[in-house]
Structures are given as C-alpha cells and as structure tokens.
Homo-oligomer: A and B are copies of this chain.
Amino acid sequence: MSEPAAPSAIGFHPLYRQVKHRLVERMVSRAWPPGHLLPSEVELAGELGVSQGTVRKALDELASERLLTRRQGRGTFVAEHDDARILFQFFKLTADNGKRVFPESRVISAALGVASASERQAFGIPEKARVVRIRRARLLSGRALIVERIAVPHAVFPGIEKDDLPNNIYSLYAARFGVTIARAQEKLKAVALSPPDAKLLGVSAGTPALLIDRLAIALDGRPVERRLSLCLTDNFHYLSDLT
C-alpha cells in the first residue's frame, strides 16, 4: 500500500479506506463480478501490503453496506441482485399480515425519449441527452397494485428498450450492462390518482395512492435510475425501520 496517509493539510485517509476504495474499484471494473469469491483475508493483506486486521475492517464495512457477503468457513463474495436482496433492501412494500412477496410485472411500454429537465438534473446529463422510459404495472397476489414509471439514461443502458424486461430489473442491469445498483433514496408522498392511472389499477380517479420517487445509485456513485411508483395501500404498507 502507499504511504500511511500523511496527515497533510488536505485531510486524513486511513489505510482501511484506501483498501475499501481499491476493492470497490475491482467490483466496478467487473474484475470481481457479482457472485465472485474474493481472495482470503490473508491473501488480500499480503497483496495490498497491509495487515489482516486492516483488510478485515475494510471487508466488514463493505459487508455492512451490502456490497459483500461473508460466510464463515466459505469466504467473502461480491453481493448479487437476487430476489432476496431486492426484497430486503429495495422493496419495502409489505402485506399488512407481515408477508413480503416479490411482485410480478407487466410491461406497458418501453421507449426512447429526450430527457426532461428533472431527468437531466437527476442524472447529471446534458441537454438533449436521451433516456429510456419504461412503464409497467406490478401485481401483488394477482392484483395490479402498483404502476411504475422508470427512466434511465440511454448512454448507460443502450438498447434496453428493446430487451425483454425481467421481473427483477436490477439483475438485468448487472448481467447485461455491468451496472450494479448499490443504494437508493426514496421520497414518499400521498397523492390522488389521475384518471388513466386509476384505470390501470382498476379503481376510481382520485383514490389516494402512495407515490414513491426513487433515485438509484450505482456502485461507482452515479445516479442511473429514476423510478416513480404509485401504490395502492389498502392491504399493503411501506415498511421503514428507524434504527
């Protein structure tokens, strides 16, 4: 490793943060794709020229950020976007009886367009840049309860508008475009459904719905997906843990 982080005027960067950064770099570059088994702590320590304890601190933090999963006796793996992770990290809608189920999807449309002002701002892309817009309905226990509008930069996901979209779209981002979603931020409001949205969900216009405005951030820190979801919450709720 480089010098022990000289206490320069610029700030202090502990060794384990530099180690973290190097490990994330390998994940971003796909040298270590999702599911990959990392070298052991001892090997990494030797390779990076730091102690095993320092490597451990970096690995533990990455595991707490859900970028790695560690299993005693087996090793450390790059996290995957399997349904279980999506369900726990990204899908907070829960049946009132406590059951959490992954929703089915029915794509309504997928098309290229020119980024709106808010999309340009969200993604930090230039004027006239293109985005792909996907609209789908989502079904929980067989009933359409969510209508979703997804927007992604065309430059990041070229051609996705022509793909078959799987139920779990983040696994497609990873497998076909090499983009791993690391985290997201959601803003929630209560709104009245517009007539077309109400029709899609089979309720009357003006019915209250939960509006979820999500911005998803990739491993490298870029915002790469904006998603507006309108949810009926008669028998479901959004679960938020304040810890």
Contacts and interface: CB of A to CB of B under 8 A. Distances in A.
Contacts of A90: 242
Contacts of A66: 243
A89 B242 CA distance: 6
Contact of A208 (B183, B187, B190, B243): B190
A131 to B, nearest CB: 22
Given A188-B237, A191-B208, 8 more contacts: A65-B243, A66-B243, A185-B240, A185-B242, A190-B191, A190-B231, A190-B233, A214-B242
Interface in A193-223: 206, 208-211, 213-214
Which of under 10, 10 to 19, 20 to 34, or 35 or more describes the interface residues of A?
20 to 34
A155 interface: no
A190 B185 CA distance: 19
20 contacts: A89-B243, A183-B241, A185-B240, A186-B239, A186-B240, A187-B239, A188-B188, A188-B238, A188-B239, A190-B191, A190-B209, A190-B211, A190-B233, A191-B233, A206-B206, A208-B208, A208-B209, A213-B237, A214-B242, A240-B240
Nearest to A235: B189
Contact of A242 (B186, B190, B213): B186
B188 A242 contact: no
A84 interface: no
A92 B240 contact: yes
Contacts of A210: 188-190, 210
B240 A188 contact: yes
A210 B190 CA distance: 5
A185 B210 CA distance: 18
Contacts of A94: 187
A192 interface: yes
Interface centre among A89, A94, A211 (most CB of B within 10 A): A211
A5 interface: no
Interface string A86-113: 0001101010000000000000000000
A1 interface: no
